[in-house]
């Protein structure tokens, strides 16, 4: 193919957008509406999971050791725990650190009456999990480990967080399916309009002796550009809504700011921009490709 032919077909693709202004606008609006819903939904789900994850990070399993257990064995237990796949990280709290923490939290100045450390057998490991749903597996392992006297765990918190996580997962899948169905329906309608607009033009090209590529390329370029525009518009709107809503919530409800942590807008868009543009361009490409394919075998 000549370079000039390539440039010509590329220009035709761009010109097609302006030739069929209303069709282009309808397509951009359709893709934009789908991706707007996707952007809003993604922001909500991502924040929800972020908040749950933050809560999970605070859940720890604490293990205490048998009296008089050697430092070597304690270190060995630490290494065994760290090697477990469900473990994110482990903190060793010595008996002195445990006493200092207890004094600070519960006793204050009354602690001066104690000469020795009453918690001398309370050195422990605080174990933080990658996923709280794995807590029971870890606890079973710890129970069978020699040298461990006591395991402190919060089963209710772990179960609640696991349930919330599962619920968010199911709701996310459900909404994605609904969004996909709506998108497919809207896009199928837009493509049908496109077929009626283009049928004659494609026929003429084929009768004159245009190759499939020559016919298809401008349409595909047009589809890709429409998809790209269709993704950029909702991204801009979601950006404005997101930054304003987060700012409003944190300013108006200051109590919430200590409990809830939202993902910064830049971090959300770090994922949302490439995903939305890929979906938009993908929809545009597939839509235009299939529209032309139906009529290309003349």
Please give the residue ranges that form the binding site for another protein (CB under 8 A): 1-2, 4-5, 8, 19, 200-201, 203-212, 214, 297-298
- What phi and psi, each to the nearest 5 degrees, are found at residue 94? -75, 170
* CB closer to another protein out of 76 and 201: 201
- When the beta carbons of 4 and 196 are compared against another protein, the nearer one is 4
* Distance in Å, CB of 21 to another protein, minimum: 11
143/212 with CB nearer another protein: 212
Q: Which among 92, 83, 88 has a CA at the least distance from the CA of 57?
A: 88
Answer left, alpha or beta for residue 147, where phi above 0 means left and psi between -120 and 50 means alpha.
Answer: left
Separation of alpha carbons 263 and 287, rounded Å: 34
- Which value, to the nearest 10 degrees, does the dihedral of the CA atoms of residues 21, 279, 288, 189 take? -70
From the CB of 298, what's the least distance to another protein, in Å?
6
Nearer to another protein, 181 or 204 (CB): 204
Quote the least distance from Cβ 228 to another protein, whole Å.
23
CA distance readout (Å), 125 to 44, 56, 285: 35, 17, 55
Nearest approach in angstroms of CB 231 to another protein is: 27
Q: Which residues pair with 91 in a beta bridge?
A: 126
Closest contact distance (angstroms) between CB of 287 and another protein is: 20
Residue 82 vs 200, nearer CB to another protein:
200
Closest CA to 42 of 248, 224, 259, 276: 276
Three-state SS string over 74-124 comes to HHHHHHHHHCCCCEEEEEEECHHHHHHHHHHHHHHHHHHHCCCCCCCCCCE
Nearer to another protein, 211 or 244 (CB): 211
Minimum Å gap between C-beta 283 and another protein is 25
**DSSP-assigned beta bridge partners for residue 63:** 125, 151
């Amino acid at each position: 193919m000549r370079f000039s032919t390539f440039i010509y077909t590329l220009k035709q693709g761009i010109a097609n957008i302006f030739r069929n202004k209303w069709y282009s606008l309808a397509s951009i609006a359709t893709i934009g509406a789908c991706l707007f819903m996707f952007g809003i939904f993604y922001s909500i789900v991502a924040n929800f999971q972020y908040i749950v994850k933050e809560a999970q990070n605070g859940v720890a399993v604490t293990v205490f050791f048998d009296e008089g257990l050697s430092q070597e064995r304690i270190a060995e237990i630490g290494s065994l725990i760290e090697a477990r796949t469900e473990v994110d990280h482990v903190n060793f709290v010595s008996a002195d650190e445990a006493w200092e923490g207890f004094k600070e939290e519960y006793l204050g100045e009354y602690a001066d009456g104690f000469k020795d450390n009453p918690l001398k057998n309370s050195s422990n490991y605080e174990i933080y999990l990658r996923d709280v749903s794995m807590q029971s597996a870890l606890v079973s392992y710890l129970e069978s480990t020699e040298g461990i006297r006591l395991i402190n765990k919060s089963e209710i918190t772990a179960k609640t967080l696991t349930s919330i996580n599962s619920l968010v997962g199911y709701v996310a899948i459900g909404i994605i399916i609904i969004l996909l169905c709506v998108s497919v329906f809207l896009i199928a309608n837009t493509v049908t309009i496109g077929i009626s607009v283009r049928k004659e033009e494609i026929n003429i090209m084929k009768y004159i002796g245009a190759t499939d590529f020559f016919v298809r390329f401008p349409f595909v370029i047009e589809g890709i550009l429409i998809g790209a525009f269709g993704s950029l518009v909702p991204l801009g709107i979601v950006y404005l809504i997101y930054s304003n809503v987060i700012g409003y919530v944190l300013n108006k409800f200051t109590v919430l700011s200590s409990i809830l942590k939202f993902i910064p807008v830049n971090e959300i868009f770090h994922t949302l921009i490439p995903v939305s543009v890929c979906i938009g361009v993908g929809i545009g490409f597939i839509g235009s490709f299939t529209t032309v394919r139906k009529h290309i075998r003349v």
